[in-house]
Structure 1
């Protein structure tokens, strides 16, 4: 593929990333942000910043471990190396696509290239996605109840923003659960959507499209039954996911401490990050660009004060741009090693 074709193919992503980076750099250089950043760098406590970076890396490890638990349940010969690469591919494409929609399909595609059945791969990714969303919503509900008064009195429109985030995530959980549990209802829903798209001239051959999707759904539902209801399988996956979300939620606190600040309670900052993640999850731009920075500014501005823009910059480098860089590296490794050494169908 030529450079021109590559740029044309990824033009939307390139523009969005450029705008996201440009806006952040604009505010850094046109406000006191760059001056504050300079002052912070000279006094930065590297030990805390390293802890933020380690937390991000451990999040990657947890993602791979949770995936490996599910993959090895159906494929005993599956390795952690494969699961880790698949997890990083998910981070990469979630960062590069609107609504983070590209992560899961590319994970399924990669798993298929590594030798896994498409239906089984789809079932594993659906279970992993559902687990993450359920834990995230549960985490959010607990923290809303615990820190409700504080955020209501310090964050404008907190109730509205939180309700929107909870509803969006709950709807997503419902749809994924429906997709896994009820074959008949899912089939009817798919048929209704296809017929609607046909009526508005967005689907030319509804019958053919339905048959194609229907056959894939049959494979998926058969694979979902194979996952079973093993408590020994799902409890460790849930536990690892809780650890993963907690580690991710600690990153802003570690950045905060690296700035030589220590007055904010760790539990309050963890709650703020969970709300940021929940609210920005459905921003329709790659990596929730704009929405992530905006929600971080709203929830963490009270803690960082004048240092909020440098904090956003470091937070996005660690939790977003690093996912793109290292996700691309491991996507390449996964393609070069795991695809070329695909496991035989089991």
Structure 2
């Protein structure tokens, strides 16, 4: 019981956010259909299409493990797929319960180190995975939306606003990661100045401690790029798998569309809408993009679902988001007992990479705020 209470206290903010967004969604739905109407809608869903929707979600999880396995195998040839799948689910789970997915990468690195992987190499793998996934998502979503641009311009209100927000947040993130890889010193000095200033105006408490915490993560990403080397075939393979993952991850929306006995919209249109909508809300600063995800779904998928948009949104959110949290929690709990603390596979440093456990940059050793 104490362990459960500690867990609730630790994730209280996430629990409140998820509860509030679900309550708002249910309240809106009940106003539209009533309890009896909602029960009728859910009872008439086509089970075959719902099963297929769950299946496409499961395949995306398997592909997440495959991407991680390819990157892990680059440095650890005997690293198993099962361990990589565990790391992938860990990322999905913590991305779902932390704002802006902020807990995903640090927890993946933590679990990889507990599996016996050296710290520099785990950071290298996760940094490579992060930048390839984000860059692929942005480019692919833009290509998809451009193929049907007249349709979306005509049918999606505020398309320009969604596009600008999605591009700005994603490009800033990618640019920051790339800049860290080539010129970390500039980022560190700029970040140190900003955090010290926030401390002086009493917005940020203990700025030096906060700065060192942030820099520890940035150092890991910086070293990560150097450790992975320049294996373009590896990155091309990961990008191609990511594209397949994005398409399959968006097919669940089409499957839900068909589960509601709706017809007429093409698979390509719904995939394009869902991939782009998901890209837009990547950096909404709430767990799972709560609020933003629902708004984006309504904006892009109301075209297809019409009066069934709110019930469809409920089913979609329960399956893809709350389902991911449930599966992630169960699998991470089980996987932790099986893999954490076990001897690592053969340690191997790829010929085109540098020492992944060399001393990290000393950028964290900045002068303190009082003397800056």
Question: Given the two structures, how large is their TM-score scaled by the length of structure 1?
Answer: 0.91
Specify whether residues 272 and 130 from structure 1 end up closer, same or farther in structure 2 by C-alpha distance, changes over 3 A only.
same
Specify whether residues 210 and 98 from structure 1 end up closer, same or farther in structure 2 by C-alpha distance, changes over 3 A only.
closer
Q: How far apart are the structure 1 equivalents of 2:237 and 2:228?
A: 14
Deviation at 1:95, TM superposition (A): 0.8
Q: How far apart are the structure 2 equivalents of 1:76 and 1:173?
A: 28
Q: How far apart are the structure 1 equivalents of 2:274 and 2:263?
A: 17
Normalized per residue, which structure has more helix? 1
Specify whether residues 33 and 212 from structure 1 end up closer, same or farther in structure 2 by C-alpha distance, changes over 3 A only.
closer
Deviation at 1:312, TM superposition (A): 0.8
Q: How far apart are the structure 2 equivalents of 1:216 and 1:26?
A: 40
In structure 2, the partner of 1:55 is: 56
Correspondence 1:110 to 2:104: no
Any stretches of 5+ residues in structure 2 without a counterpart?
Answer: 348-372
Q: More deviation in 239-248 or 281-290?
A: 281-290
Deviation at 1:7, TM superposition (A): 2.5
In structure 2, the partner of 1:77 is: 78
Deviation at 1:320, TM superposition (A): 0.4
Q: How far apart are the structure 2 equivalents of 1:259 and 1:222?
A: 49
Specify whether residues 180 and 39 from structure 1 end up closer, same or farther in structure 2 by C-alpha distance, changes over 3 A only.
same
Give the alignment's Cα RMSD to 1 decimal. 2.3
Deviation at 1:37, TM superposition (A): 4.1
Contact 2:93 2:325 in 1 (8 A): yes
In structure 2, the partner of 1:331 is: 332
SS in 2 for 1:234: helix
In structure 1, the partner of 2:31 is: 30
In structure 2, the partner of 1:178 is: 179
Q: How far apart are the structure 2 equivalents of 1:137 and 1:33?
A: 39
Specify whether residues 33 and 163 from structure 1 end up closer, same or farther in structure 2 by C-alpha distance, changes over 3 A only.
farther
Q: How many residues align?
A: 345
Q: How far apart are the structure 2 equivalents of 1:194 and 1:23?
A: 36
Q: How far apart are the structure 1 equivalents of 2:343 and 2:121?
A: 15
Deviation at 1:300, TM superposition (A): 1.0
Q: How far apart are the structure 2 equivalents of 1:212 and 1:307?
A: 46
In structure 2, the partner of 1:169 is: 170
Q: How far apart are the structure 2 equivalents of 1:32 and 1:165?
A: 33
What pairs up with 1:113-132 in 2 under 5 angstroms?
113-132=114-133
Q: How far apart are the structure 2 equivalents of 1:210 and 1:282?
A: 21
CA shift digits 1:290-336 (9 cap, x unpaired): 21112111211121112112211111122101111111112112210
CA shift digits 1:200-248 (9 cap, x unpaired): 4535473x77677667755654442221111221111111111111111
Deviation at 1:176, TM superposition (A): 1.5
Correspondence 1:153 to 2:154: yes
Q: How far apart are the structure 1 equivalents of 2:294 and 2:86?
A: 27
Question: Given the two structures, how large is their TM-score scaled by the length of structure 2?
Answer: 0.85
Q: How far apart are the structure 2 equivalents of 1:210 and 1:40?
A: 51
Any stretches of 5+ residues in structure 1 without a counterpart?
Answer: none
Contact 1:95 1:286 in 2 (8 A): yes
In structure 2, the partner of 1:15 is: 16
Contact 2:100 2:282 in 1 (8 A): yes
Specify whether residues 91 and 209 from structure 1 end up closer, same or farther in structure 2 by C-alpha distance, changes over 3 A only.
closer
Q: How far apart are the structure 2 equivalents of 1:154 and 1:216?
A: 42
Q: How far apart are the structure 2 equivalents of 1:16 and 1:340?
A: 34
SS in 2 for 1:288: coil
Deviation at 1:160, TM superposition (A): 1.3
In structure 2, the partner of 1:309 is: 310
SS in 2 for 1:98: coil
Contact 1:89 1:331 in 2 (8 A): yes
Contact 1:116 1:345 in 2 (8 A): no
Q: More deviation in 185-194 or 116-125?
A: 185-194
Specify whether residues 33 and 341 from structure 1 end up closer, same or farther in structure 2 by C-alpha distance, changes over 3 A only.
farther
